[in-house]
Amino acid sequence: MSPILAHGFANSITINKSMPKTIDFTSFKMFTDISQEETVISNQAREFADVVYKNLPGIAAHELAMRIYKSKGPIELSDEDLAILIPFVEQGFLPVFIDSFKANLIEKQ
């Protein structure tokens, strides 16, 4: 299951910037429908990294795409990483992926 791209949808992702975040693209839980009661777990690391690599400019986006691609489990996302990813996800993906992305972000204690 590849990341779902779309244009014109927005579903604001709010985050607590004072807490570091992690996300595991190698074990990504994608909601199966609008009820958000069930998920399908899949490795999205290569596909999501490829979408970032092909669609976002700049060395920071390049470095982030490579970290996601090479990940073997959860990766920590800095505020800079989130400033790159959140607008991209909110503006370029369908609501099911936006909600799944938000649900997969974990505050690191």
| Cα first-last separation, the chain | 30
23 forms bridges with which residues in the sheet?
75
SS3 12: coil
- Is 15 a residue whose pLDDT tops 60? no
Q: What kind and span of H or E run contains 65?
A: helix 59-70
Band of pLDDT at residue 17, cut at 50, 70 and 90: low
Residue type for 36, please?
Q
pLDDT at residue number 19: 73
DSSP 18: T
pLDDT at residue number 6: 45
**Of 13, 3, 2, 21, whose CA–CA distance to 79 is shortest?**
21
Question: What does DSSP say about strands 106-107 and 21-23: parallel, antiparallel, or unpaired?
Answer: antiparallel
Q: What kind and span of H or E run contains 93?
A: none
pLDDT at residue number 20: 84
pLDDT at residue number 108: 74
Question: What are the residue ranges spanned by the domains of the chain?
Answer: 21-32+40-107
**pLDDT of 27-86, one tens digit each?**
999 999 999 999 999 999 999 999 999 999 999 999 999 999 999 999 999 999 999 999
Higher pLDDT, 6 or 60: 60
